[in-house]
Amino acid sequence: MNIAAIIPARLGSKRLKNKNISILGDKPLLFWSIDTALESDCFKYIVVSSESDQVLDLVRRGYSSKEVQTIKRPDRLATDKADLRDVCNHFLENFPDIEFLFLMMPTYPFRNARRINDEILPPLYSRQIDRVVSVIPSNFSTFDYWFKKGILYRKMFNRAPLWCGAGNATYSLMRRDYFFKTPQNWPYLPGERTLRIQTDNTESIDIDTTEDFRKAEKIVQGYEQKKRQLKSFCNKTHEIVLPEGAKPGSLLDFLASEGVNLNLPVLILTTPPPYFTFLRWYECNNARDYYSELTKGILADLPKGGHSQDFPEHYIHSISYRILRKREDREGIQDDCVSQKQIIFEEELKKWGGYIEPNYWVKTK
């Protein structure tokens, strides 16, 4: 069984310039993925794909050609609009003997080689699985999205939120057939046997912004990020969700001082993690019913390609800070749109003297 690891590492990036070659700890970011692949010692080929001679030369100076190969991809596969599937196809066309492809996005530096060897390879070699995907450790509300339209914030979906472990790209392995036999927007081959691996907070770090890079630096320095336990409180009209230690009465007083009417729906919003690609799902006919009518109208004019950067600015209801009206008090009140006056962002909560960070760092090394 021939398995290859591909590390797609283009030079350009918008939010964090040259992130793939930025120094994390004592080496460039993309070297973390290369070293994990080498440590696992299970890949026939480890290949870095890039349009940039600067990136490829950096890899050639750091590793021998026997350890890591490089492939120059055309410029058309190095833009913000390029589809990652096309990048993988370009690789597979040059390596026809590969049966399985392990996609190692260089922005995930903290994969665990032991998990590859102990949890992925045995069922793969025994032909029990066709694909491996990974999910984040905490539940994630996949349909609880909102976007701004005029003076209102509107629900993006007409379905109730579905809570589940959302996918990430820490561990991503698939059969060669996936790239050549599935329609462009199908996420799986029919009948595929999939192994889902739950990643911890460290493995799930995906470096896309300066803040993400700072988190990764803390981990390299020997810290581990922990999540505070959430507590639920009830009064006569509301259920309030807060991190342990935060005071619900103090939060309500703060919101009132900010002009929020607690007799109406209240949304505490935050920027969503980049785990959900809206456009790719929308292009699948059987997924369009999930979207609200207003959202469909916006999506109809957007370019195809599955890039969330093309989607209008959107937010998700905070998981750590929530003000929910009790069910018996909700009759006759529309929850699918909320006035801007009733919106507060989690970042703004830091002005509140009782704010407690949902996550905290612990020195472990």
The most confident of the ranges 13-17, 80-84, 300-304 is: 13-17
* Mean pLDDT within 347-352: 93
Please provide the average confidence, as pLDDT, over all residues in the chain.
83
Helix/strand/coil for 302: coil
Quickly count: other Cβ atoms within 10 Å of residue 132's Cβ: 22
pLDDT tens track for 81-126: 677 788 888 888 889 999 999 999 999 999 999 999 999 999 999 9
* CB-CB contact of 203 with 192 (8 Å): no
In the chain, where do the E strands start and end? 3-8, 23-24, 27-28, 45-50, 69-72, 100-103, 131-141, 145-149, 152-155, 163-175, 194-198, 223-227, 230-234, 238-243, 267-270, 314-317, 322-325, 337-339, 343-345, 359-363
Q: What local confidence, expressed as pLDDT, does residue 339 receive? A: 86
Q: What local confidence, expressed as pLDDT, does residue 279 receive? A: 45
Q: What local confidence, expressed as pLDDT, does residue 272 receive? A: 72
Q: What local confidence, expressed as pLDDT, does residue 87 receive? A: 86
Task: Place 152 in a pLDDT band, splitting at 50, 70 and 90.
Answer: confident
Helix/strand/coil for 58: helix
Sheet of 238-243: strand order equals 230-234, 238-243, 322-325
Burial 208-242 (b: 16+ CB within 10 A, else e): eeeebbebbeebeeebebeebeeeeeeeeebebbb
Task: Place 45 in a pLDDT band, splitting at 50, 70 and 90.
Answer: very high
Residue 278 CA to residue 85 CA, distance in Å, equals: 17
The sign of the CA dihedral 287, 288, 289, 292 is: positive
Above 50 in pLDDT, residue 251? yes
β-strands 314-317, 267-270 pairing: antiparallel
Distance of CA 56 to the CA centre of its chain: 26
Above 70 in pLDDT, residue 74? yes
Task: Place 280 in a pLDDT band, splitting at 50, 70 and 90.
Answer: very low
Above 80 in pLDDT, residue 333? no
Above 50 in pLDDT, residue 331? no
Q: By C-alpha distance, which of 269, 266, 255 is closest to 323?
A: 266
Structure tokens at 27: 């080496």
29-40 and 53-62 helices cross at what angle (nearest 10)?
A: 50
Above 60 in pLDDT, residue 327? no
Least confident of 69-73, 126-130, 152-156, 221-225: 152-156
Place of tokens 């018996």: 328
β-strands 3-8, 23-24 pairing: unpaired
* Mean pLDDT within 338-351: 90
> What DSSP string runs through 193-206?
-EEEEE--TTTT--
* Mean pLDDT within 284-290: 55
pLDDT tens track for 187-211: 556 677 888 898 988 998 999 889 8
* CB-CB contact of 33 with 104 (8 Å): yes
Task: Place 332 in a pLDDT band, splitting at 50, 70 and 90.
Answer: very low
Q: How is the chain split among helix, strand and coil, in percent rounded to 5?
A: 30, 30, 40
Q: What local confidence, expressed as pLDDT, does residue 72 receive? A: 92
Helix/strand/coil for 21: helix
Structure tokens at 332: 């006759």
* CB-CB contact of 358 with 227 (8 Å): yes
Q: What local confidence, expressed as pLDDT, does residue 277 receive? A: 46
Name the burial class of residue 127, with classes exposed (0-12), middle (13-18) and buried (19+) by CB atoms within 10 angstroms of its CB: exposed
As its CATH architecture, domain 3-140+165-217 has: Alpha-Beta Complex (3.90)
Give percent above pLDDT 90 in the chain: 44
Opening angle at CA 303, ends 297 and 305, nearest 5: 120
Q: What local confidence, expressed as pLDDT, does residue 142 receive? A: 63
Task: Place 275 in a pLDDT band, splitting at 50, 70 and 90.
Answer: very low
User: Comparing 13 with 295, which gets the higher pLDDT?
Assistant: 13
* CB-CB contact of 362 with 222 (8 Å): no
Residue 274 CA to residue 169 CA, distance in Å, equals: 11
Domain ranges of the chain: 3-140+165-217, 224-363
Residue 352 CA to residue 349 CA, distance in Å, equals: 5
